[in-house]
Each structure stands twice: as C-alpha cells, then as structure tokens.
Amino acid sequence: MNIRSESPAADESESYLPFDVSIGYQVRQTHRLMQRYLQLKIDPHGVSLGMWYFLRALWDKDGRTQRELSVIVGTMEPTTLTAIRSMERGGLVKRVRNSKDKRKINVFLTERGHKLKEELLPLAKEVVGKAVEGFSDSERQVFLDSMKKVQSNLLRQIGEDHVVDD
C-alpha cells in the first residue's frame, strides 16, 4: 500500500515549500547557527548574545538613547531597558540623563565596555569568516548584495523606507 496516496494533504504541503528550497527557512537556520557559534565564542568573556547586539550598536556610536538602541537592535523598549540594566550591573555601560531633554536616557560604554570591542570583534569576524569559508571574494559580494536586495524588498513591502546599511 502506498502511504503517500492515502495522505494527499501531507504530500501537497511538503511539495508546496520543502525546507531545502525555502529561503525563509534557510535564512533562519543560517542565522540560528551563526548565533550559536558566536555565543560559543563570546560566552567566555561574560557577554550574552543579547548584550552583544547592544555592544555592537554602542561601539558604532556611543551615547545612543535607549529608544535608538531599541530600533537598531530590534527589541521592544522594556526588553532594551532590561538588557541595559543588566549590562550596567555588569560594568559594561552607564546610563546618563540627557542634559537637553530630561525625558531621554543616553547609554555610554564604560572603559570595560570599550575594551571588549578589541576582544570580541575579532571573534565575530572569525564566525563570519568560518561561515563563508570557501567563498571567493566575488561569491561573498554576490551573497551580500543578494541579502541586501532581499532586505530592501521586504522593507518596501512592510512600508518602511530604511536604508539597508553596509
């Protein structure tokens, strides 16, 4: 007896979008694997993956507001506040009320937070390097260009005009 013929609904759903050709699934799996590998690298330094994203944003521009950090990292403001408080307890950042607008809180890296950049960025570069091992320079550029185009397409569809950063 052919089991496939007894369950046409299962066949249709499997053939409709198999995981091996689902771009969404492949992007998610790749992202999850890169996160896991990065976490293995940064964990010995006392930095969680959640902290990593905020550190990256602050290394790019120190003194961002909590709201700016929420937008850049893609978290809700209460989640950002929890992460920032944890980082503050860990001696990585300090929060300072904005002198021009008392409603705003700016987040600044401490000396320890700044020093982590020298230790952690090479680890992140290693993770990316391992992920694209065997890619030629041109293949890597095509991959990056393709990902940026996907992001732009999706931003357009959801009505956001953000520029996809390099």
pLDDT value at position 14? 56
Q: CB within 8 A of 79, min separation 6: which ones?
A: 70
Identify which of 27, 37, 33, 46 has the alpha carbon closest to the alpha carbon of residue 125: 37
How many other C-beta atoms lie within 10 A of the C-beta of residue 54? Answer: 27
pLDDT (average), residues 63-81: 94
How many other C-beta atoms lie within 10 A of the C-beta of residue 73? Answer: 16
pLDDT value at position 163? 46
Residue 5, pLDDT > 70, answer no
pLDDT value at position 162? 53
Angle of helix 49-60 versus helix 77-89 axis, rounded to 10: 90
pLDDT (average), residues 92-106: 93
pLDDT value at position 161? 56
Residue 65's φ and ψ, nearest 5 degrees, are -80, 160
Helix (H) or strand (E) holding 97: strand 93-97
pLDDT value at position 121? 97
Residue 9, pLDDT > 90, answer no
Contact 38, 50 (CB under 8 A): no
pLDDT value at position 7? 46
pLDDT value at position 3? 45
Cα distance between residue 22 and residue 16, in whole Å: 10
Cα distance between residue 127 and residue 122, in whole Å: 9
Question: Which alpha helices (H) appear in 43-110, and where do they start and end?
Answer: 49-60, 66-73, 77-89
Q: CB within 8 A of 44, min separation 6: which ones?
A: none
Residue 63, pLDDT > 90, answer yes
pLDDT (average), residues 12-40: 87
Average pLDDT, the chain: 89
CATH of 47-123, one of 1.10.10.10, 3.40.50.10860, 1.10.443.10, 3.30.70.1560: 1.10.10.10
pLDDT value at position 58? 98
pLDDT value at position 20? 84
Q: What is the pLDDT of residues 113-135, one digit of tens each?
A: 999 999 999 999 999 999 999 99
